[in-house]
Amino acid sequence: MSGTFEPRPGGGAAVALDEVEISILRSLVVQMLELIGPGDEPADGGDPLAALFAEGPSEPPADPALARLFPDAYGGPDRELGAEEEVEARAASAEFRRYTENDLRTRKREDALAVVRSLDALSSDAAASGPAADSVLLELDPRECTRWLGALNDLRLTIGTRLEVTDDEDGGELLRLPDSDPRKPMVLAYFWLGGLQESLVETLMT
């Protein structure tokens, strides 16, 4: 799994992916969608204004991976706060979360769904190309690049949390795990996604 993004003529980015890479990436994104959960969009005949002003949760998620995707806006483990400051930070975080988490979940869900749709279209192209094709070219316009960048970042945060990779380490020691370790496939996926994300960022900055 060594494909990296490169600039497209006229804007956007492109990367060659084979059938296995498409399958792995789609599976990871679908699992993340299941973790994020379904949307709260109103059913047919529902009140869209009510959904617009609906309040979200005030407490952080119990799942560590979700808590990484939806962190507190104030305070946190990296800040040393006194008891009174901690209370104020928790109250401010709860208020901020109540009015922003639903929108943030929607955006992350839409980013992930955009990736799934792109991969499904790519799978169709691969099938049409026949079994002789080693890989197919995924081409993204600038808007799709932004969606992909958000989803790749969320995937790495989720997998990094499951692997207990902290902000102070790059997880390089995980690469030395034996192949028999059940975490090894996820470690390889973590670094592969990191390469994709880094190359996409560099492509968008050129």
Per-position pLDDT tens, the chain of length 206: 457 999 998 899 999 999 999 999 999 999 999 999 886 554 445 555 555 556 778 788 999 999 999 998 876 555 565 677 778 778 888 888 888 889 999 999 999 999 999 999 998 766 665 655 678 999 999 999 999 999 999 999 999 999 988 765 566 788 888 999 999 999 999 999 999 999 999 999 98
Other residues' Cβ atoms within 10 Å of the Cβ of residue 183: 13
DSSP string, 67-85: HHHS--SS--TTS---HHH
Instruction: Please tell me the distance from the alpha carbon of residue 150 to that of residue 144, in angstroms, as a whole number.
Output: 10
Closest by Cα among 1, 2, 23, 8 to 140: 8
pLDDT value for 87: 80
pTM of the full structure: 0.83
Residue 43 confidence (pLDDT): 44
HSE-up of 81 (CA within 13 Å, CB side)? 14
